[in-house]
Amino acid sequence: MLRNRTGGPGLRRADIREGSAQEDVDLVAELVAGGFRGPLWEKVAADLVGYAFQPLLHAMRLSENGKLANLVAKSKTPLLLTDEERTTLHHNQADREQLALMTISVAMETFPKVLKAGGYDPAKNIGKGGKPARLSTFFYGRCGLVFPRVFENWRAERVQRFIGRATVPLDRVDLAYALGRGPSQPESGDEFVDLCDKLIEMVNELKPRDKAVWIMALRGYSRGETADALGIKITDVENARTKLRNEIKKRRRKGTLIVPPRLVAEWELYPTWKEKQAEQAEQKKKKVAR
């Protein structure tokens, strides 16, 4: 039995990497004989998880460079990523970590069965440089096989979360409050009604995530509250808001969206998110200086 430095059963992570493929074969035989129970299996499983976690994060972060595509190339489930999803995987550490843990968990569930059936055969699983693949490399390959399926489930859950927020009905009353025109304040005539109708139409045409962001914004949720509820970053929230604002500006320039002059004057009084960020940063500098 392989033992750790304390003399007890188990492996250190370095043992898995520094041994040989034949030692891994012997280790698998011992694990099969032990029914994948006990301290040895627990330690091996922990080491495999530790080995696969960072490479998975790295592959997702470099999905635009084909790193992830190479990992999942042998999977029976195709992995088709949208540009938005690639951007999310590149920039969002929390999403990458969640996906990595989900992938490793699914791969680990079936790993004992695969090993028991003789799935690990170094002679048939060649690693880098034409050398027999180590058990750790073989497990990482299993992660690549299940990743597309895990990603599909993650995507479905995420989209459903957006849709759940995006299907909340939006009407003129919501916009009236958001635009500073509650029931006690006079509307600006037909122009205001037309503006509300066109803005509702524009929001309803957005993708589920962006639509959810705007519905929550119009209902008074802060950027942080919106990000927490949708499981996205605050910068994603601001990007979604900025895209619609830019579209509004474009339509105003073309004359296809008319904003009442009084409302325009009121809008100009509110600082933008970037201006607020700059103001907060300046306040922090002053506090530090004190």
Handedness of CA 36, 39, 45, 48 (dihedral sign): negative
SS3 content of the chain, % helix, strand, coil (to 5): 70, 0, 30
Q: Which helix (H) or strand (E) is 78 found in, with range?
A: none
Rounded distance between C-alpha atoms, residue 130 and residue 127, angstroms: 6
pTM of the predicted model over 0.75? no
Task: Give the CB-side neighbour count of residue 177, counting CA atoms within 13 A.
Answer: 11
Q: List the chain pLDDT tens, one digit each, 290 residues.
A: 333 333 333 334 335 555 688 899 999 999 999 999 999 999 999 999 999 999 999 999 998 888 899 999 999 999 999 887 888 888 888 889 999 999 999 999 999 999 999 999 887 777 666 788 899 999 999 999 999 999 999 999 888 888 888 888 887 777 777 776 554 444 446 777 788 888 888 988 888 889 999 888 888 888 888 888 888 888 888 888 888 888 888 988 888 888 777 676 655 655 554 555 566 667 777 667 66
Query: Can you give the pLDDT at residue 26?
Result: 93
Q: Tell which residue, 30, 21, 22, has the closest CA to residue 3.
A: 30
**Could you report the per-residue pLDDT of 45-81, keeping only the tens digit for each?**
999 999 999 999 999 999 888 889 999 999 999 999 9
Query: Can you give the pLDDT at residue 217?
Result: 86
The encoded tokens of residue 190 equal 């037909």
Q: What's phi and psi for 3, nearest 5 deg?
A: -130, 155
Q: What residue has token string 């690549």?
A: 144
Beta strands in 72-225 (DSSP E): none
